[in-house]
Chains A and B, each alone.
Chain A
Amino acid sequence: MWVYEKKLQYPVRIKNPNPKMAKYIITQYGGPDGELAASLRYLSQRYHMPIPEAKGVLNDIGTEELAHFEIVGAMVYQLMKGACPEEIKMADMGTYYADHDNAVYPSTGTGVPFTAAYIQSKGDPIADLHEDLAAEQKARATYENLIKLADDPDVIDPLRFLREREIVHFQRFGEVLQKVREYMESKKYF
């Protein structure tokens, strides 16, 4: 089971609302390379991992991604909270506002709702771990794009933290892939 800890893994303190930035960032909440997709991917794939190291890594990174999902949600919440309908219209966020007001909804910036079609759980550990390595790189690239789009240090700071974590996750998945390969080799399993 999971136990909630009443704090963010990394603080989010955005002083100035910015619906345009919210529109960019929300894809990491409910988009194809976002934190919700990451978490569901790893937590679903963990059941079919053959060695304890792999189960541990998928379980724990899947859990950390939930904490990142919360960080991104807090960013969208704070960027939208103080924004007036007029500003939202100017930011081209009117279509989102019509459906969701200032609320936080898992979708892309263009309003495509979250879907499990973003992820796979193949039952083949080698295939799944390759997907995970790619997912971490895509998330890193998305955060780099977002950092380029941002000009507020309150926004850039947590984005940098999230980007760094993707690099660490990529490293751990690479180690797991190596160990799973060795295990399968030792079992003469092709």
Chain B
Amino acid sequence: MNHTHADNERRELLEQIRAIEFMTIDLNLYLNTHPNDRRALNEYNYYTRQLQALRKEYEMRYGPLTNFGYSLSQYPWAWINEPWPWEEDHYMEGC
């Protein structure tokens, strides 16, 4: 199955978000048991700022990543747009 160019760009941006978010998750867990580690905290804030910028860029181009008042929606209501995460890059046809 071929993905369109726009679709590939979307996936690439999502991949970047995933990588940066992974850093924030891992640092968050670490900081929970090392709350006075200033270096880790600075890193956490550094990646969080990057993540916020990337999320904003993604949402402006491809629609909301979060619901319940965390992101704005264009008309019509874009939250329900496919693909959902479990359908991402999903190639098979049903039997």
Contacts of B70 in A (CB 8 A): 3
Most buried by A among B33, B67, B68: B33
Give the nearest-CB partner of B91 in chain A.
A15
Complex Cα distance, B15 from A119, in Å, reads: 34
Contacts of B40 in A (CB 8 A): none
Q: Knowing A3-B67, A5-B66 touch, does A78 contact B90 (C-beta < 8 A)?
A: yes
Say whether A172 contacts B32, CB under 8 Å. Answer: yes
Contacts of B65 in A (CB 8 A): 5-7
Contacts of A179 in B (CB 8 A): 33
Please pick, from A60, A64, A70, A81, the residue contacting B85 in the complex, using a CB distance under 8 A: A70
Say whether B95 contacts A8, CB under 8 Å. Answer: no
Q: Knowing A12-B86, A12-B88 touch, does A168 contact B33 (C-beta < 8 A)?
A: no
Interface string of A161-190 (1 = CB under 8 A from B): 000000011001001100100000000000
Q: Knowing A7-B17, A7-B18, A74-B86 touch, does A15 contact B95 (C-beta < 8 A)?
A: no
Say whether A10 contacts B33, CB under 8 Å. Answer: no
Please pick, from B17, B64, B88, B95, the residue contacting A13 in the complex, using a CB distance under 8 A: B88
- Please name 16 further chain A to chain B contacts, defined as beta carbons within 8 Å, in addition to the given A53-B35, A82-B93, sorted by A numbering: A1-B68, A3-B67, A4-B67, A5-B65, A7-B14, A7-B88, A11-B18, A11-B89, A16-B92, A17-B92, A56-B32, A77-B86, A169-B29, A172-B30, A172-B32, A176-B33
